[in-house]
């Protein structure tokens, strides 16, 4: 396989990076970081010859010394310890280590995986891939769709490689969302209400829903006129990218878990995954929720349109389900999310872009970030899903009520502190 050579300048100094097109994205970013002599928490920005920001990834278009890209190093606070550091993705294992995992997948662990209160996040990444494999096995996908185990393992490994080492939208977040989806499928007994192919779509969409996330949301992509925003015409650039990366992985024979399906089955899965992953764009939140509310009183599992909307609701709930976790799990994840938000607002200020209000470290506090989000986003969404599945009340709504009480009290304490 031919290597890619990328020529760029840093402060007028010519440099080049050389890598294989299938190497991990983090390795490519590390090459640029070393060439730029950047610190571990410095922010790198790469511009093409037109002055547009482009993503540092294995898919960079090769250039030549006469058409150099320009790399900028934006210094972050190098003394600040990243919040939730223990939750970031560890790097550097090979596929064979999956077979050497010390995780014992007992019936107790399998049952534990099915509960939204799942609270052990100390798994190694190899163990997480084993747990993801367990989910595919327990939902009978292996036998129903003739998925070869070694292909599933390669698929999960490729997915792992395409999640970036960023504070929140990393491989462990992928696992959180997938585990919640898996738990909701069991709790709502969807195995008896929907076809296996629909469940396969939902679980695989959860696995792939944030592939190659950059840590900067769609508003930033659009305002900064990044390569993704230009490629997707400002329409859900991140979510479209997540889909594209998912199907890049699935195009490879060795990691295509759908390769033994019929053409019609594959077409249905592709259509369903695109709908589900695009539904995670929060700018579509009200549109999708209102559509679900309009069909709820006459919901019919035999109606494809109704099922499509439910599948979108299921991945949305799974994606933003952090506050349904025990507080000692949910709060560190919130710290990670806020770190990612603050990184973006810092960058927006540096680049003279509109600053996203709920990401501004000078205006946002932990409790203020959550009270409004829980009241106006989580509750309306979770309550409607529980209207269809009343069994979910205790599992996802009661914990969120407790989280709202917790952050409301924290907010009051902060306000009182300011007044004294």
Contact 171, 34 (CB under 8 A): no
Cβ-proximal residues to 153 (8 Å cutoff; 6+ apart), any chain: 95, 98, 129, 133
User: β-pairing, 4-10 with 13-19?
Assistant: antiparallel
184-187 long-range CB contacts below 8 Å, 24 or more apart?
Answer: 184/116, 184/314, 184/317, 184/318, 184/392, 185/139, 186/114, 187/114, 187/116, 187/389, 187/391, 187/392, 187/395
Residue of 66, 169, 213, 241 marked catalytic:
169
Nearest to 87 by CA among 14, 173, 16: 173
CA dist 163 and 260 (Å) reads 26
Q: Is 4 left (phi over 0), alpha (psi -120 to 50) or beta?
A: beta
Helix axes 171-187, 304-319, angle to 10 degrees: 130
Q: Does the annotation count 66 as an active-site position?
A: no
Task: Enumerate the β-bridge partners of residue 244.
Answer: none
CA dist 168 and 311 (Å) reads 24
Beta strands in 3-77 (DSSP E): 4-10, 13-19, 43-47, 53-54, 69-74
Cβ-proximal residues to 99 (8 Å cutoff; 6+ apart), any chain: none
Tokens 């199907």: give the residue.
247
CA dist 377 and 389 (Å) reads 19
Supply the DSSP string of 112-130, one letter for each residue: HHT-TT-------HHHHHH
Contact 340, 213 (CB under 8 A): no
The distance from CA 185 to its chain's CA centroid, rounded to whole angstroms, is 19
Residues serving a catalytic function are 169
């Amino acid at each position: 396989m031919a290597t890619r050579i990328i020529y760029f300048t840093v402060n007028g100094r010519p440099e080049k990076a050389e890598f294989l097109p299938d190497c991990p994205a983090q390795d490519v970013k590390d090459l640029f970081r070393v060439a730029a002599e950047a610190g571990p928490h410095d922010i790198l920005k790469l511009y093409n010859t037109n002055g547009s920001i482009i993503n540092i990834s294995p898919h960079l278009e090769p250039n030549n010394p006469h058409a150099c890209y320009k790399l900028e190093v934006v210094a972050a606070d190098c003394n600040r310890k990243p919040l939730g550091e223990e939750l970031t993705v560890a790097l550097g294992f090979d596929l064979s280590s999956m077979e050497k995992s010390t995780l014992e997948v007992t019936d107790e662990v399998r049952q534990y995986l099915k509960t939204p209160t799942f609270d052990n996040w100390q798994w190694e990444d190899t163990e997480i891939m084993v747990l993801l494999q367990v989910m595919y096995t327990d939902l009978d996908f292996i036998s129903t769709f003739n998925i070869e185990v070694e292909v599933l393992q390669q698929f999960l490994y490729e997915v792992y490689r395409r999640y970036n080492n960023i504070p929140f939208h990393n491989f462990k977040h992928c696992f959180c969302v997938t585990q919640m989806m898996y738990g909701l499928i069991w709790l709502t007994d969807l195995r008896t209400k929907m076809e296996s192919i629909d469940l396969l779509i939902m679980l695989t969409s959860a696995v792939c829903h944030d592939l190659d996330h950059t840590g900067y949301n769609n508003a930033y992509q659009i305002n900064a006129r990044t390569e993704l925003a230009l490629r997707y015409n400002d329409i859900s650039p991140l979510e479209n990218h997540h889909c594209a990366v998912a199907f890049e992985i699935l195009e490879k024979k060795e990691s295509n878990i759908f390769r033994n399906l019929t053409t019609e089955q594959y077409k249905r899965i592709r259509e369903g995954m695109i709908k589900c992953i695009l539904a995670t764009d929060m700018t579509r939140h009200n549109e999708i929720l209102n559509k679900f509310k309009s069909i709820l009183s006459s919901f019919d599992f035999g109606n494809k349109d109704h099922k499509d909307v439910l599948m979108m609701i299921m991945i949305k709930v799974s994606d933003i389900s952090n506050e349904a976790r025990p507080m000692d799990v949910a709060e560190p994840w919130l710290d990670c999310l806020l770190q990612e938000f603050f990184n973006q607002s810092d960058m927006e200020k540096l680049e003279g872009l509109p600053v996203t209000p709920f990401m501004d470290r000078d205006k946002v506090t932990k409790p203020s970030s959550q009270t409004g989000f829980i009241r106006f986003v989580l509750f309306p969404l979770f309550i409607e899903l529980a209207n269809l599945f009343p069994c979910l009340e205790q599992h996802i709504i009661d914990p969120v009520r407790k989280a709202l009480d917790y952050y409301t009290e924290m907010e009051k304490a902060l306000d009182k502190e300011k007044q004294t």
